[in-house]
Chain A
Amino acid sequence: MVELSIDGINVSVEPKTTILDAAKKAGINIPTLCYLKDINEIGACRLCVVEVEGIERCLTACNNIVLDGMVVKTNTKKVITTRENNLKLILSQHDFNCATCIRNGSCKLQKLAEDFGVLDVPFDVEYEKNNWDKKYVLQRNNSKCIKCMRCVQVCDKIQTTSVWDVVNTGSKTSVNTKGHKEFGSTNCVYCGQCVIKCPVGALHERDDIKKVLELKAQKDKINIVQVAPAVRTSYGEILGIDKKIATEKKLAGILKFIGFDYVFDTVFTADMTIMEEGTELLKRLENNREKKLPMFTSCCPGWVNFVKNEFPELLPQLSTARSPQGMLGAIAKSYYAEYLKVNKEDINVISIMPCLAKKDEITWDDTNNVDVVLTTRELVRLIKLLFIDINKIEEKEFDIPFGIGTGAGVIFGSIGGVMEAALRSAYYLLNKKNPSADYFKDVRGLDGYKEGKVDLGGTVLNVAVVSGLSNARKLIKQVLNREKIYDFVEVMACPSGCVNGGGQPINIYEQNVKERSDYLYELDKNNKIRFSHENPQVIDLYKNYFIEPLSNISHKLLHIEHKVRIERS
C-alpha cells in the first residue's frame, strides 16, 4: 500500500492508484472535464491539477499515480487559480451561448463554470464555425468542441470504428473526421457513444422534434407512437423524477396527453421478433449448419451498420427479421391500417428510441413504415417544450392490441436480453413446454463479451453475447479465423445494450447503466407473461394475419434483406 496525505488527510491506497482516485477515497473531490476512466486519461483540460509538495509544477490528478509519502494539496491558491485560468481558456474557444445549446443543463463545462463561479472570460472568445451538414443523424458542432478527445478515444477504443481523429496542428488543432473524410463516407454506425460521452454540446442527434409536431398537426392522419423498452428506464432521469414515479404507465399517460392517437409498446414487436428470429434460428440449425451460422441478431441498427460497413460478407448471417421498431411500423401500416379501414398513408408512426441509429434504420428501405424517430433525449425535450407537469399526468395502459408486451420482450433493452428471450421461446418450440423463466439467466450481466453453451432440452447451442463494437470485432475475427464456433450471437453496438444507448439521457457525471438494466429485469420478473410466444396479442396476430412465423406474408412484411448501402443518412 502507498501512504500519502491529501489536504492533510492521510490515506492509504493500492500502488498505481491515481491521485484522483486516492483523493476520492479521502473524500476529496477534484474537478475533471476531459477525463473518462480507462478511456481518456490524457490530462488535456488541466482542470484536475493539484499541488504536490516539493514540486513547483502542478500535476494532473487523473493520470498521475501516487507515490509513497506524497503530500498533495487540492485547495491552495495556486491550484484554484490555475484551474480557473484553464477553465477560462477553454471557455474562450467555446460557444457559450448556453441558452441556445442542446446540452443546456446537462453540460459538464457549464456545470464547472458554475461551480468555479466564473463570471467573465477575460479573453477574446473565438471558436470554430459550425458547418456540419444538417442532414446527418449525427451532428457535430465544432463551435462547441473543447478538444477533450473523448469522442476520438471512445470511437477508437470502445467501438474501434475510428471515425474521429485529431486534425490540423498547433493552436489550430481540432477534432473532426479522420483524414477529413466527408462524414457520410466514414465508418460511422450512428451508435452515438461519442454523443453520450461528449461533455458539451459538440455532438448530438439530429433534432427531429419539429417533424413530430408537424405530423401531429396533420388532423386527418392517425398518429401512432411506439416506445422502446430502454426508454422507460431513463426518461425520468433528466426530468429529475424518481424512477418510482417515472414508470412505463406514466410514460404511456404522457404520450396520450401529448395527443398521439395510439400509444403502442415496442416490447410487443420485440415478442414478434422472437417468434420470427427464434424460428429462423431453429430453421438455420436444421438446414444449413455450416454456412449460415452463427446467426447474428439484427435488432441493433448500429451493429447492422457495422456489418454493412466493414464485414459485408457476414450479411447473410444476420437474422432477416426486422427490428422490433421496424416490425411495429410494418404491422401498423399493414394489418392495423386494414383493421382501422384506412390507407396506410393515413397513418404516421413515430418511434421513441434510446438510439441514434434507429433514425438511420428507417431509411434502409423505402417502405416508410416509420416516419420519425425521437431519441429518449428528444422525448424529454418534447415534454419540456409542452410544459407538461408529470406529476399531474395519470398513469395509463398502452393501447390494445400492440400495447401488451411480455417480460421476455422488455429485456431487449439490456445486453443479453434478446438472447435470453429467444432461448426461452426456442426451448418451448423444441420441447413444446416452457423452461422456468429464469432458466437462462446466465446470459445476463453487463460484461462486454460473454459466451457459453446452453442446453435447450437436449439441443446444445454455443452462444455468445457481446456489446460494444470492439468486442463485436473481436468475436467476428475469431469466428472468421475459425477460432470460435457459435450457433447464435447477440450483438449490441452500445456497451451494455440499449440502456446505455446513444440516444439516452446524458448525466453530467455518470450514466446509470446498471440501475437502468436492473429496472428492466425487475419489469421482466414482475410481468405475468414472461415468454414471447405466450403474448396473447402475438398469438392473435398470427391467427388473424401472419398465419405462422416465416410465413409468406411475414416474410414480406416482417423481414428485410440486408444490403450494403451506398447513400447514407
Chain B
Amino acid sequence: MSRLTFKTNDSQELAKEEMYRDLERRIVASPTGLCPVDLGSSFIKMCLAQSCGKCVPCRVGLRQISKLLDKILDGEGTVETLDLIKTTAESIKLTADCAIGTEAANFAINSINNCVSDYMEHINHNCCTCNSNQPVACLNLCPAHVDIPGYISLVHEKRYDEAVDLIRHKNPFPIVCAYICEHPCENRCKRNIIDSAINIRGIKRFAIDNSKKPNLPKLAEKTNKKIAVIGGGPSGLSCAYYLSIMGHSVTVFEAHKELGGMLRYGIPNYRLPRKELDREINFILQTGITVKKNITVGIDISLRDLENQYDAIYVSIGAHTDKKMEIEGEDSKGVLSAVEMLGNIGDDKMYDFTGKNVIVVGGGNVAMDVARSSIRLNAKSVNIVYRRRVEDMTALREEIEGALSEGCNIIDLMAPIRIESDTNKNVIGLVVKPQMISDIKNGRPSIKDKDEDEKLITADVIVVAIGQGIDIKHFESSGVNVKRGTIDAMDTGAIEDKLKLFAGGDCVTGPATVIRAIAAGRVAAANIDEFLGFNHEIKHNIKISTVNYKDKKPCGRVELPLREPQDRKNDFNPIELGLKEEEVMQECDRCLRCDHFGFGVFRGGRKTKW
C-alpha cells in the first residue's frame, strides 16, 4: 500500500464537471413562465443527488418533500400536503447538518412563500397559473421587441439594407445600438443550451456597416396634428420618428446645442463615434421633424405654453443632473461631476489632464466612461475608487476590463470620507475609509467599516460618477405627477390627469439603457397616435428567408475585436472593430431560429405591423 496517492484524469468526474456546465448554461437559457412547483420539484430532485446521505433530515426529508411536490403537481395534493411540505422543510432547515440540506429546504420554503397562489391553483384546480407560452427569447427580451431572428437571417443572406430596415421598424437607432446596446436580447438566448449566446450586437454592427441604402419608410398623409417632444435623446427622437411617419407634425425641443441626449453628452466618441451618431440622427430627421435646439422647457418656454400650442406632448428629458457625494470638500477646485465632464466632451470642449492624477468615484458604466476618457485626456494616473468589490460594480464586465487594460487602476472597498484641498482650495486628494464586504441584503452585499485607518489618495482631479438625477422641478410645479424623483407615467407613456402629456425614457425609469428609452418612445408614439384619434399602422413587407437546416453543432461565439489598449488609449477614435464577413456568417449560422423551431412556430408568429 502506498502511503499517499494523487489522482489524475478521473474520466467520470470530468464528465460530471461537463454536466454541471451543461446545467449552468441550460439554466441561463431558461424560458420565462415556468411553473414554480415543477421547477421546485426538479430542483429538489437534484439536491437529493447531492445529499451525502449521512443525516436524516436531508437524506429522508428532501426525498419526502420531492414526493409531496410531485403529489401537488399530479393534482393529488391538498392544503395538508402543502402544510406537511412546509413543516418538513422548516425542520430540515433547522436540523440538517450542512448547507446541502438547509439550503434545499430553504429553497422549498421560499418557493412556497413567494408562489403560494400557484401552489393553491394546483391544489384547488389541478392546474397551473403559469402557461408555457414561451416567446422567442431574444425578441421578447429586447425592450423594443425587434425581430432579431428575422434580421439575423437577412444578414445571413447579405440583405443588409433590409436587415437595417427591419430593425428600424421597431427601433430607429440601429447604428447606435450596434455600438452600445447592452443587448438584453442575448441574455437568455436558447443557443446557451448548446454553447453560448449569439453575438447579436456583432451581427447588427455588420449590418449597419454594410448597409448601403436603407429605406426611409413611406410617410402617412399629413394629419395636421402638432406634437411637441421635450428632449432630443434616444427616447424623444424615437417617439418623434414614428409620429412623423404617421403623418403628424413633430417639433423636438432640445436643451443642448445638439441632439442625441446621453448618446452625445454621456457616451464618449471612442464607444459611439459622433459621425455614426450624426448619421443616425440625420436619417431620423429625414422624416421631417422640426428641431429647436438650445431651448430649455421651464426656462425658455413653459410646459403650459406648449400645452396650449400642441395637441400632445412627449416628455423625454432624460437624467442629466449629477448626484453629489455630500462630503466635506466637494466644492474644491478640481472636483468635477461625470455629467459635466462628459457633457463638455460632447460639445468638443476637451480637458487637458496632462500630468494630472485623476480619481473617479463610482462603479457604473459612467465611471468607466469617465476613467477611460481621462486616460485619453493624457492623465498621469487614473484611480477608480469604489465602495464595494470589483465584482459588485454595476458596469459591464467589458467596460471594467477595458478600463483596466488601458491603464486605469481600481481601488475597491474604499468609502470616500472627505476631499482634501490646499489653501487655494485646489484638490490634493480623497480621504477614504477601508471597507469590508458584509451581509447580503436584498440580494446585494453590504459593506461596513474595516478596522483600518483612513487613507489619503492623492489627486489633482476628482470626478464624481455616482449616479444621475432628473431635473423635474418645472414639471412638478406644472402639475405633473412625480414619484421618487422621476416622472410618474403609466406603462402606456400617458400621465394620469394630464390628458395631452406622455413621458418616457430615463426621466421616467431613472437612468437606464438606451434600448429601454427607445422602446418607451415607440410605445408613446403608438399611444399618442391613438389619443389623437388615429390608428396608423407601422408596417413592413420584408420577406424573411428560409431557415437553415444545418445541424447545430457546438461552436464558439465570435466576439467583436478591439483595438490594442496601447494604441486606443491615446485617442478618442472608436475602439471596437467590426467582424469579418466569415465571422458574421458563422455567427448567423449559429442562430437556432427560434421563430421557426420550437414554440415560435406555433404562437406569436412574425408581426409585420404594429
Contact = CB atoms under 8 A, between A and B. Distances in A.
A65 B38 CA distance: 36
B43 interface: no
- Of A56, A57, A168, most buried by chain B (CB within 10 Å of CB) is A168
A172 B131 contact: no
Interface in A130-178: 149, 165-173, 176
Interface string B31-43: 0011100100000
Contacts of A42: 601-602
B549 A168 contact: no
Contacts of A59: 549
Interface in A168-215: 168-173, 176, 180
Interface stretch (B100-108, B122-130, B431-439, B575-583): B122-130
Contacts of B128: 167-169, 172
B125 A169 contact: no
Interface in B531-588: 546-547, 549-551
A52 B549 CA distance: 9
B113 interface: no
Interface string A62-76: 011101000000000
A43 interface: yes
B38 A172 contact: yes
A167 B131 contact: yes
Interface string B279-317: 000000000000000000000000000000000000000
A55 interface: yes
A180 B601 contact: no
Contacts of B133: 166
Interface in B121-146: 121, 125, 127-128, 130-133
B290 to A, nearest CB: 33
A504 to B, nearest CB: 27
B520 interface: no
B132 A166 contact: yes
A170 B35 contact: yes
A449 B173 CA distance: 42
A44 interface: yes
A176 B127 contact: yes
Contacts of A44: 602
A42 B601 CA distance: 6
Contacts of A55: 549-551
B335 interface: no
Contacts of A168: 35, 127-128, 130-132
B125 A180 contact: yes
A165 B602 CA distance: 12
Contact of B38 (A43, A67, A170, A180): A170
B35 A67 contact: no
Contacts of B75: 129
Contacts of B501: none
Nearest to A176: B127
B73 interface: yes
Nearest to B132: A169
A67 B546 contact: yes
A14 to B, nearest CB: 13
A125 B34 CA distance: 25
B117 to A, nearest CB: 13
A169 B602 contact: no
Interface in B48-96: 73, 75
A129 B133 CA distance: 23
A67 B34 contact: no
Nearest to A41: B601
B73 A172 contact: yes
Nearest to B133: A166
A67 B549 CA distance: 10
A379 B125 CA distance: 36
Interface string B584-610: 000000000000100001110000000
Nearest to B35: A169
Nearest to A171: B38
A173 B33 CA distance: 12
B547 to A, nearest CB: 8
Nearest to B121: A180
Contacts of B549: 52, 55, 57, 59, 64, 67
B35 A149 contact: no
Most chain-A CB neighbours within 10 Å: which of B34, B546, B550, B602?
B602
Which has the most chain A C-beta neighbours within 10 Å: B33, B38, B131, B133? Answer: B131
Contacts of B38: 169-172
Interface string B9-41: 000000000000000000000000111001000
A56 B553 CA distance: 10
B533 to A, nearest CB: 14
A384 B331 CA distance: 98
Given A166-B133, A167-B128, A168-B131, A43 B601 contact: yes
A6 to B, nearest CB: 15
A169 B130 contact: yes
A350 B38 CA distance: 49
A166 B131 contact: yes
Given A44-B602, A168-B35, A173 B132 contact: yes
A50 to B, nearest CB: 11
B201 to A, nearest CB: 28
A349 B413 CA distance: 89
B73 A169 contact: no
A165 B35 contact: no
Contacts of A52: 549
Contacts of A129: 75
Contacts of B73: 172
Contacts of B125: 180
B601 A167 contact: no
A129 B127 CA distance: 12
B35 A56 contact: no
Contacts of A173: 132
Interface string A278-305: 0000000000000000000000000000
A172 B130 CA distance: 11
A34 to B, nearest CB: 10
Nearest to A173: B132
Given A55-B549, A56-B551, A180-B125, A169 B131 contact: yes
Contacts of B547: 64
Contacts of A171: 38
Contacts of A167: 127-128, 131
A180 B127 contact: yes
Contacts of B33: 169
A44 B551 CA distance: 19
Nearest to B74: A172
Contacts of A176: 127
Contacts of B127: 167-168, 176, 180
Given A63-B601, A169-B38, 19 more contacts: A43-B601, A55-B550, A67-B546, A67-B549, A166-B131, A167-B127, A167-B131, A168-B130, A168-B131, A169-B35, A169-B130, A170-B35, A170-B38, A170-B132, A172-B35, A172-B73, A172-B128, A176-B127, A180-B127
22 contacts: A42-B602, A52-B549, A55-B550, A56-B551, A57-B549, A63-B596, A64-B549, A129-B75, A149-B602, A166-B132, A166-B133, A166-B603, A167-B131, A168-B35, A168-B130, A168-B131, A169-B33, A169-B38, A169-B132, A170-B35, A172-B73, A180-B125
Interface pairs A-B: 5 shortest CB-CB: A169-B132, A169-B35, A42-B602, A168-B128, A56-B551
